[in-house]
Amino acid sequence: MRLGARRPHPVPLGFVFRSRSTSKDEQAAAAKATADRSQQPRDPQAPKGRPTPKRSEASSQRRSLASTPTNRKDASKRAREARRVDLAKQREALANGDERFLPARDKGPIRRFARDFVDARYSVAEFFLPLAVVILVLSMINRGSFQAYVLLAWMVVIALIVINSVITGITLKRALKQRFPSENLRGAVPYGLMRTLQIRRLRLPKPMVKRGAKP
């Protein structure tokens, strides 16, 4: 050893072992704290830490934001287009009987039963318009007592329509009570009777049963 050189101070062994044990304890505590934070539920309202949205979700959000109207004119235009689409779906449903897009007055199994009940039977009222046209033409013929016969024919047609409507209303009400004993049947009978006044091929929704079929 050279003269005048400084001798290094000896490091106590206790200090070395204490520092190592302390560092291991700190690492274990840090790992435990990280695990605890990862197990804690995330706050859905928190601005950070939210899961990254999928590409499809992000694209759908962008499309919805892009399609949102920015002023009253665009909003009214969108409303008119939506109404036009709904009316087109209703017209198609009236033709094919699709329950999803029928108007509210035609929806439901009760209204469907009333339509089928009426469409499966002949009714005097469905011939009212053709008979009215024929009687109107005959009333223009002015020959002696012919007008009296025309008037009599008109009264007979009206009486037959009334009698037939009463019978149809009673039988329809009875059938509805048997099929739907615990349902609200309000308006179903007038709905069916109004349908009898229409020619079968012109009825909407279109008839879905044949003559003589059981609804």
Lowest mean pLDDT among 26-30, 76-80, 151-155: 26-30
Q: Is residue 196 classed exposed, middle or buried when 0-12, 13-18 and 19+ CB atoms within 10 A define those classes?
A: buried
pLDDT beyond 70 at 136? yes
- Which band of pLDDT confidence, cut at 50, 70 and 90, is reported for residue 146? confident
- Which band of pLDDT confidence, cut at 50, 70 and 90, is reported for residue 52? low
- Which band of pLDDT confidence, cut at 50, 70 and 90, is reported for residue 198? very high
Lowest mean pLDDT among 18-27, 169-178, 181-190: 18-27
DSSP codes of every residue in 151-203: HHHHHHHHHHHHHHHHHHHHHHHHHHHHH-TTS--TTHHHHHHHHHTS-GGG-
| pLDDT, mean of residues 186-198 | 95
Q: Quote the CA–CA distance of 95 and 130 in Å, as a whole number.
A: 23
Lowest mean pLDDT among 6-10, 105-109, 159-163: 6-10
Q: Which residues of 38-48 are buried (b: 16+ CB within 10 A; e: fewer)?
A: eeeeeeeeeee
pLDDT beyond 50 at 18? no
Q: Is the dihedral of CA 18, 24, 26, 29 positive or negative?
A: negative
pLDDT beyond 80 at 47? no
Q: Quote the CA–CA distance of 164 and 190 in Å, as a whole number.
A: 14
pLDDT beyond 60 at 4? no
pTM to 2 decimal places: 0.62
Q: Is residue 115 classed exposed, middle or buried when 0-12, 13-18 and 19+ CB atoms within 10 A define those classes?
A: buried
Q: CA 97, 99, 91: angle at the middle one, nearest 5?
A: 55
pLDDT beyond 80 at 46? no
Lowest mean pLDDT among 20-29, 74-83, 194-203: 20-29
- The amino acid occupying position 172 is L
User: Which pLDDT tens digit goes with each residue over 70-121?
Assistant: 678 777 878 888 888 878 777 887 778 778 888 889 999 999 999 999 999 9
Query: How much of the chain exceeds pLDDT 90, in percent?
Result: 44
pLDDT of residue 143: 81
Q: Quote the CA–CA distance of 153 and 175 in Å, as a whole number.
A: 33
pLDDT of residue 122: 93
- Which band of pLDDT confidence, cut at 50, 70 and 90, is reported for residue 174? very high
Domain boundaries, the chain: 124-197
Q: Report which DSSP code applies to 10.
A: P
> Helix (H, G, I), strand (E, B), or coil: what is residue 51?
coil
